[in-house]
Amino acid sequence: MTEPLPENIEKLLQDLLSEDAYRRRSAAETVAELRVTNEQIITALKTVAASDPNRYVREAAIRALDTLGFGLPPDAEARSAANRLAPPTPPVLRPFFKQIDFWLGFIGWYLVNGLIWWGFGPGATTSSYGPVPALILLPANVVVLLITAFVRSRFAGGMLAAYALNFVIATFMGATVNATCAIPFFYR
């Protein structure tokens, strides 16, 4: 086993105690590759293996200690086993943010479609455009709905609820007044 120069030992110690998790992990991997057995380095590695806040840094330190043939601190062994068994926890969205996403989709559908129909001008369904706006917007709405369903499902749910409400209102209006279900009900 070779011992690096004192300035390299000092650099490795600084990196092991760095604020940057990437530097700490890289230092632990370097110690294992160079097979450094310096007492200060091993003490620092044991500290990192036992108490580093970053899971990947702890695992790198544990692997380095294992490679060098040093025992792990008891709490590091238990934590290492627990990390291997437990899957990472997904981020949790609070219900409030889920509701906001839904309402953004709901209101956004009416805003976007209303502005588009407004852009075609009054009487767009019976004007010289013919059915072109409806033939463009219906597939566009379906495509946007499908894409957002995979990316932001709550947002897509809001869009779907807006489309369903518009369909119900347009159906009711169709029974009483001439209406088209793809046009936001407030446009008429």
Claim to verify: residue 108 and residue 46 sit in the same structural domain: no
- Count of structural domains, the chain: 2
Q: Does the residue 166 lie in any domain?
A: yes
Q: Who wins on pLDDT, 179 or 134?
A: 134
**Per-residue pLDDT tens over the stretch 110-163:** 998 888 877 766 655 555 556 666 677 888 888 998 999 888 888 999 999 998
Which domain range does residue 63 map to?
Answer: 6-85
CB atoms within 10 A of CB 100: 15
pTM, two decimal places = 0.43
Within 8 A by CB and 6+ apart from 180, the residues are 125, 134, 170
Claim to verify: residue 167 and residue 129 sit in the same structural domain: yes
Q: 85, 120, 146 — which closes off a domain?
A: 85
Q: What is the largest CA-CA distance in the chain?
A: 91
Claim to verify: residue 149 and residue 76 sit in the same structural domain: no
Q: Does the residue 117 lie in any domain?
A: yes
Claim to verify: residue 37 and residue 119 sit in the same structural domain: no
Claim to verify: residue 115 and residue 178 sit in the same structural domain: yes
CA-closest candidate to residue 186, choices 168, 169, 164: 169
pLDDT over 50 at 99, yes or no: yes
Claim to verify: residue 172 and residue 102 sit in the same structural domain: yes
Q: Does the residue 90 lie in any domain?
A: no
Q: What is the CA radius of gyration of the chain?
A: 31
Q: 85, 112, 145 — which closes off a domain?
A: 85
pLDDT over 50 at 25, yes or no: yes
Claim to verify: residue 54 and residue 10 sit in the same structural domain: yes
Claim to verify: residue 54 and residue 79 sit in the same structural domain: yes
Q: Does the residue 150 lie in any domain?
A: yes
CA-closest candidate to residue 17, choices 55, 72, 61, 65: 61
Q: Does the residue 1 lie in any domain?
A: no
pLDDT value of residue 114: 83
